[in-house]
Amino acid sequence: TAPSATTVYTHDYTLTYSGVTWLHSVNQLWLNVPAVEQDIYLRLADRFFRKYSAEYSVVFTEPLMPATADWLRTHGYAERVSTPILMLDGLPQPTHTHTSGRIVRAGLQHQHDLLRILYGAFFIGSEVARCIVRPEQFENPAMRHYLIYIDDEPVCCATILLSGGVAGVWNVGTLRMYRRRGLASALLIHALREAADDGYTSSVLMASSMGRRLYEQMGYRWVGNTIYYGLMHG
């Protein structure tokens, strides 16, 4: 939904171009239903992204579509990354949380601080970060950005997106020198408690390979993988 994005929604698939040609992780042909293993969808994606000279990924979920990977490999695609999807009913139960940080739900006045953490925690460029954190989001009650401050310095962030009765957890990041102190756990508990107060008692997230164990220790369970495939060149 970024101003720079172009998206086509159908029942079977979603095509979305972020506006950044090299950002293949979010330039996507997302396959929505299992029975889409037809070459027409790949041809549609090729035409769509060729207009922008953009790299893209074909994205699907396992185990819902177990044959899709084989189908893509026969058409010259290779796996780029597999991201575990984790879900939890109720609040996380972390083994350790930081108690001295100041947690705030971010407003527009905090946009610069959010961007600083995204740059430092995820090593992403300004054009990507400014798609993730945009001024109009702060007026949307379903999208909530959070920050932890230590000595008035922003050190950890997270975003909660309320949709379909579930709280989606995004962009949980801590600056490197403040990691392993329980900051992300404290922020997550705070944000999801607020979501639960509004009736969103289940949460879902896509974890990194490093973060999966931490989330599972909090009570999250694995429900599938989001798989990204890219077209091999040459």
How does DSSP assign the chain, residue by residue? --TT-EEEE-SSEEEEE-S-TT-TTTSEEEE-SS----HHHHHHHHHHHHTTT---EEEEEETT-TTHHHHHHTTTEEEEEEEEEEEEES----S----SSEEEE--GGGHHHHHHHHHHHH---HHHHHHHS-GGGGG-TTEEEEEEEETTEEEEEEEEEEETTEEEEEEEEE-GGG-SSSHHHHHHHHHHHHHHHTT--EEEEE--TTHHHHHHHTT-EEEEEEEEEEEPP-
**Quick one: pLDDT at residue 154?**
95
Q: Per-residue pLDDT tens for 78-129? A: 999 999 999 999 999 887 777 778 999 999 999 999 999 988 888 776 667 7
Rounded Cα distance, 234 and 232, in Å: 7
**Quick one: pLDDT at residue 149?**
96
Q: Per-residue pLDDT tens for 169-192? A: 999 999 999 988 889 999 999 999
**Quick one: pLDDT at residue 153?**
94
% of the chain exceeding 70 in pLDDT:
96
**Quick one: pLDDT at residue 64?**
78
**Quick one: pLDDT at residue 127?**
67
Is the pLDDT at 68 greater than 60? The verdict is yes
Mean pLDDT over the full length of the chain: 90
**Quick one: pLDDT at residue 167?**
98
- Residues 159-164: what's their mean pLDDT? 95
Is the pLDDT at 234 greater than 70? The verdict is no
Q: How confident is the model at residue 35 (pLDDT cuts 50, 70, 90)?
A: low
Is the pLDDT at 67 greater than 90? The verdict is no
**Quick one: pLDDT at residue 36?**
61
